[in-house]
Amino acid sequence: EPFDMINKFGADTLRLALVSIASPDKDTIWDEKVVLGSHKFLEKVFDYFSNLNLGKSDMVIENKLNKTIKEVTEDIDNFKHNIAVIKIRQLFESFEEKQIDKKIAENFLKILNIYCPYITEELWEMLGNKSFISLSEWPKAGKIDENLLKQGELIDKIVGDINNILKILTSKGEIKTKVKIFSIPNELKIYENGVKEIEKRVNLKVEVLSIKDASSEKKVIKAKPNKPGILLE
């Protein structure tokens, strides 16, 4: 069984790596880094679904799934498999630290199945399905709320920015327990609504303020559209 699983990982890894670097209008140049990256990605997917604790998905994830299904379907029809793989990986990254429901789990595996048939078949069975994933219908995209997607992207971006700053500060031995986010007025509500999610993902107390309140701080803080000011304390 362990040897069989290694073979499945190997076959799917090579297939995913090949389509990741292949382009209909360019020569394919083999890159070992792509193979290693593909293997690492599939390990993450397998670990996530092997330990999956199903729950209620948020609306942002549902919208991202619908948009990914729509775009990946078009990319496959146009032989843009390398672009399709990027979007599938981005979708996984958007929920790998969250709970998802069974429908989203199944639809994700369905769109990944075209490139990784062995691993997805294994994970499909783990979800309790009796039939083969290869015999299931290709998922259809539901409604897409672009405003909700933008909100999700802004939250993802601010979380990434905060975590990057934390890594730098931690490497210097500096410990922070709170982060202040200074937003332009038009985006203030987005960050206020996302406080709980941001706190959970950065493991810090979060306070959202208007950039107008930054004048009371000792440091110069600036904010632009899609890029709020960040102050760690």
What are the pLDDT digits (tens) for 19-33? 887 665 555 566 678
Share of the chain above pLDDT 90, in %: 68
Distance CA 158, CA 181 (A): 9
What are the pLDDT digits (tens) for 143-170? 999 888 888 889 999 999 999 999 999 9
Q: Please give the model's pTM, rounded to 2 decimal places.
A: 0.77
Q: For position 29, what pLDDT does the model report?
A: 61
Q: For position 3, what pLDDT does the model report?
A: 41
For residue 112, count CB atoms less than 10 angstroms from its CB and return exposed for 0-12, middle for 13-18, buried for 19 or more.
buried
3-class secondary-structure state, position 122: helix
Q: Do residues 86 and 34 lie in contact, with contact meaning Cβ atoms separated by under 8 Å?
A: no
Structure tokens at 226: 């899609």
Question: Within 13 Å, how many C-alpha atoms sit on residue 184's CB side?
Answer: 9
Contacts of 123 (CB under 8 A, 6+ apart): 45, 46, 49, 50, 109
Structure tokens at 97: 């630290």
